[in-house]
A and B are shown apart, each in its own frame.
Chain A
């Protein structure tokens, strides 16, 4: 079954404690991206990757890092989380950027206290 898998689904952490949210897709997609969803703001893109070892900033990259060492994985790293990063995070993948259907993970609800 084609899918995008994110882990964990729920995470509560403390300010400053580094964390990683994993994302894996099994569709051999080249394009992957991370979004955060906040009430009243919709989805905003954090980072995206057009292929292995190629990543770029989205609209709200501050406080986040990503890596793309393999085609299937695109982890999101918060080196020093802060309360304003409390949000619902989605990973997505697609064959290409902006043309093909994007497949989304189930989401990761992060709370930083």
Chain B
């Protein structure tokens, strides 16, 4: 079984500053990795995913994430945040065998300060 750790429950950042949201996973098998975003009063939507290939993955709204197998991490980054990026961000993992569905982290609330 896999697990996902998002170390920061809340990250306050000033507008136009860079941000990194951390995600570490634990799994005994190879995994697929995802970042989802939840805007206020909405469902989750996919930001980006890593299945294979290049370890740097680019997603929507200027976000990117880097898969690091040795550190079992999949941190999310954006070089310059906007007030509209205020949301809850969830890292998720599924194992490549497909035995389980998505396992989500507890989420990180990104707060953009003007």
Q: Interface residues, chain A, CB within 8 Å of chain B?
A: 4, 31, 33, 35, 40-45, 48, 58, 90, 92, 96-99, 101-102, 104-107
Contacts and interface: CB of A to CB of B under 8 A. Distances in A.
Given A98-B100, A98-B102, A107-B41, 10 more contacts: A40-B106, A42-B104, A42-B107, A43-B44, A97-B98, A101-B49, A102-B44, A104-B36, A104-B43, A106-B43
A31 B44 CA distance: 17
A104 B44 contact: yes
B90 A43 contact: yes
B103 to A, nearest CB: 8
Given A97-B101, A99-B94, A41 B106 contact: yes
A105 B32 CA distance: 22
27 contacts: A4-B43, A33-B101, A40-B106, A42-B6, A42-B90, A42-B106, A90-B43, A97-B94, A97-B98, A97-B100, A97-B101, A98-B94, A98-B95, A98-B98, A98-B101, A98-B102, A99-B51, A99-B98, A101-B46, A102-B36, A102-B44, A104-B36, A104-B44, A104-B45, A106-B41, A107-B41, A107-B42
